[in-house]
Amino acid sequence: MIFPNTPLRDASKITPKYAKTLEKLGLNTVQDFLLYLPFRYDDFSQIISLSDKYLGSVITVCAVVTKTKLNRIFRRKLTIAEIYLEDENQTPLKAVWFNQPFIIESLPVGTEVRLSGKLETKGKYFTLANPAWEKATREKTNTGQLVPIYSETPGITSKWIRWQMKNFLEKCSSLDDFIPDYLRKKLHLYSLISALRQIHFPENQEKLLIAQKTFAFREIFLMQLKTLQIRDVWEAQSSIRLKLDEKLIKKFTKNLPFELTGAQQKASLEILNDLEKVSPMNRLLNGDVGAGKTVVAAISALDALSQNCQVAILVPTEVLALQHFESFCKLFKNYDFNIALLTSSYKLINNCHDDIKKITREQMLEKITTKKIDLIIGTHAIIQKDVNFKNLALVIIDEQHRFGVAQRSVLQQATMELKDGKKKSIPHLLTMTATPIPRTLAIAFFGSLDLSILDEMPKNRKPIKTKIVLPEQRDQVYVFMRKEIDAGRQVFVILPFVEESKVLTEVKAATKEHKKLSLIFPKYSLGLLHGRLKSTEKETVMQDFKDKKSQILVSTSVVEVGIDIPNATIMLIENSDRFGLSQLHQFRGRVGRGEYQSYCFLFTDSCTKTALERMRAMEKSNDGFELSEIDLKLRGPGQLLGKAQSGLSDIAMENLNNLKLIKIAKAEAENILKTDLKLKNHPLIKKALEKFAKDAHLE
Ligand code: ADP
Ligand code: MG
């Protein structure tokens, strides 16, 4: 018998080495491990005969080995095992595996084998690259059914996880289930243990769906509880009333190098009106990339700053924090505000007349507390417990979607709990996002919330020309790039995030591409930006690009967030089909910010119908709201809301467009909180909620 709270390192069959790797994944107990859910399934339940109609899909085929061949490429330290096979109709198939030479010995000519993988073609052969396989005589475990695939990490494979999971599920004693019986019955959900059994080893598609719905409900229910709890507390608070000084705002906007769009004016007014009230503002400013959210934020900040209050601006990355610091110093250069940048690696102040100065964290904290600083810009370093504000009236959270939907409520709570000398009031909250979220979803999801929308682009924008580029057209694009660079422009090259193995591959891919392009464009200087660089290194690379010291910036997806380089006119995206449309649209928004005609090139070698359909949508539309609708239809809401940063599991994300489920979760949560706001009579829910909030926190 194993208990759910048994530490993994004490479980039999788990060696200390494995336990350590699991700990790195945040898995400490048996229960944690059981809740490590598959992120997808290979549907091996149908064995097919090879045919064109399956191209591009994941299939299982039964075939006999006819020839084997092992190639070694010494230069690249690579072995390629090639196995030639024939299915029941003698249709030829070639399967290849990289760096698994032993497969040749395991699969001699004449062996009958089941293979599962994505079917492609090369020449006269159907091909499978690195397929899952097993001999046809074996019982179907790794193929021939719904096989769970877990997010892997070096040293731990899905196969190993499946084996351990089976063992634990058989031996584990009962598990506490925080979902009350009446709710489970009402919604036809599984108990936790049954849900776990079906999610890891589904008997069939139907039971899997119920299990997924069960897990989705659990999370969405917790999230609703958290959101509602926070809402209730939020609404009972008061904030500093900021009297609108029209003259001051007019003077500020008159001195801007451009005229505000109608949408910017309307949104600014909505915010300024909110700030006049004693009840705390909770408003989301939603506007496409480049719609000009920053200046709306500046107007709101000015209102508070000029009334002797502090303002904090919170952003998801250091690069963006630095950029905002620079923009706000510029925007407020005629005012007497002290502006600071606080992230884990920067502590800078600018007191408008002096140059920018570096100070220590202690000095920074001291200056914030004594109000020698008026405007604090930073990453979540500014909402740490040791930061004590003085008269903080407004918190602005930019690019909120990057923090994730589940973190929204956590951020709201953190905002409420910020320490302030006076502490009689909480700050007003303005969040900004470039991800268009349908209104119904936003309201259902975020509890009570006011929305302002920037649906009008600044007038001087030329629409960006977007084009899909097939492999054979690559050189043409490079010729065009050269022409643009010689005319003084700059180019972004973006490489996608490779999901299975996270950072390392991404860094490798970017480094390789940087090398390759340096050879193709020897005359130019090329910058390289990726997640493994230190912040100071990142900053140098960005600054060099801004200063036009480099002409091409090769980057992983880290530059997605709001960087402003008006001189860049080309956005080139490799393997663009791997990105969601909203994300591609965000990348594209990095160009077209200046006076020049800009271009976006979407490189792809995927010719599947949906991939092309999605890329065509990019060619046709420059409208983020429209694209997100299309993405929602083609790829589901997970992509739309930014899966990786959402703080929710994939399963919950996939159920997010199930508006009915969200509404039920909300109604049931409200029902419980009505009589038991602190959850004193629901200890299991309380415990689960605490863990949920902790997991969703900003790390
Ligand atoms: P985002 O909404 O993506 O945060 P920004 O606030 O960074 O957009 O604005 C993008 C660019 O557009 C900035 O260079 C900004 O100065 C400029 N801009 C903002 N509003 C206007 C406007 N009304 N007319 C012209 N340019 C504008
Ligand atoms: Mg922005």
Predicted pLDDT at 260: 96
Cα–Cα distance, 136 to 570 (Å, whole number): 52
Ligand with an atom nearest the CA of residue 585: 1
Going by CA atoms, what residue is nearest to atom 15 of ligand 1? 292
What pLDDT sits at residue 644? 43
Q: How confident is the model at residue 698 (pLDDT cuts 50, 70, 90)?
A: very low
What is the enclosing helix (H) or strand (E) of 407?
Answer: helix 405-417
β-pair partners for 414: none
**Among the listed residues 171, 173, 174, 151, the one whose alpha carbon sits nearest the alpha carbon of residue 161:** 151
Section 40-55 average pLDDT: 78
The answer to whether 601 touches 575, Cβ cutoff 8 Å, is no
Per-residue pLDDT, averaged over 413-431, amounts to: 87
Query: Averaged over 586-597, what is the pLDDT?
Result: 87
How much is the pLDDT for 391? 94
- What CA–CA distance (Å, rounded) separates 570 from 573? 10
Mutate to test the pocket of ligand 1, among 564, 567, 582, 590 (most ligand atoms within 8 A of CB): 564
Residues 6+ apart with CB under 8 A from 11: 2, 30, 168
pLDDT of residue 134 exceeding 80: no
The helix/strand/coil state of 135 is strand
Distance CA 15, CA 268 (A): 59
Residue of the nearest CA to atom 23 in ligand 1? Answer: 260
Question: pTM, whole model, 2 decimals?
Answer: 0.71
CA-angle at 270, arms to 266 and 273, nearest 5°: 135
Percentages (nearest 5) of helix, strand, coil residues in the chain: 45, 20, 35
What local confidence, expressed as pLDDT, does residue 657 receive?
A: 61
How far apart are the C-alpha atoms of 63 and 65, rounded to whole Å? 7
Please report which confidence band the pLDDT of residue 152 belongs to, taking 50, 70 and 90 as the band edges: low
Residue 652 confidence (pLDDT) above 80: no
Percent of the residues in the chain that have a pLDDT greater than 70, as a whole number: 87
- The confidence score (pLDDT) of residue 325 equals 94
Position 442 scores a pLDDT of: 67
Q: Ligand 2 centre and the CA of 293: distance in Å?
A: 6
Phi, psi of 195 (to 5 degrees): -60, -40
CA 398–ligand 2 middle distance (angstroms): 7
The amino acid occupying position 204 is: N
Q: Do residues 85 and 117 touch, judged by C-beta distance below 8 A?
A: no
| Whether residue 643 has pLDDT greater than 60 | no
Question: Pairing state of beta strands 552-555 and 568-573?
Answer: unpaired
Spacing, Cα 430 to ligand 2 middle (Å): 13
Q: How far apart are CA 643 and CA 583, in angstroms?
A: 11
Which residue owns the Cα nearest ligand 1 atom 13?
292
**593 Cα: distance to centroid of ligand 1 (angstroms):** 8
Residue 224: per-residue pLDDT: 87
Q: How far is the CA of 488 from the centre of ligand 1 (A)?
A: 22
pLDDT, tens only, 58-114: 788 889 999 999 988 777 778 889 999 999 889 999 999 887 888 888 889 999 888
Q: Lowest-confidence range among 126-135, 146-155, 230-239, 310-319? A: 146-155
- For residues 210 and 261, give the distance between their C-alpha atoms in angstroms, rounded to a whole number: 49
Give how far Cα 6 sits from Cα of 10, 24, 39, 299, 346, Å: 7, 17, 25, 54, 42
Confidence of residue 179 (pLDDT cuts 50, 70, 90): very high
- With a Cβ cut-off of 6 Å, ligand 1 is lined by 258-261, 264, 287, 289-295, 434, 458, 460, 562, 564, 593
Q: What is the mean pLDDT of residues 530-538?
A: 82
| Partner residues linked to 149 by β-bridges | 40
499 pLDDT tier (thresholds 50, 70, 90): very low
Which of ligand 1's atoms lies nearest the C-alpha of 288? 2
pLDDT in tens, 236-255: 999 999 999 999 999 999 99
Contacts of 197 (CB under 8 A, 6+ apart): 169, 211
Residues near ion ligand 2 (CB < 5 Å) are 562
Q: CA-to-CA distance for 237 and 280, rounded, in angstroms?
A: 7
Please give the pLDDT value at position 543. 85
In angstroms, what CA-CA distances link 556 with 509, 510, 512, 587?
Answer: 9, 6, 12, 11
Check the CA dihedral 329-332-336-339 and report its sign. Answer: negative
Amino acid of residue 21: T
Tokens of 153: 């990490």
What average pLDDT does the segment 360-387 reach?
93
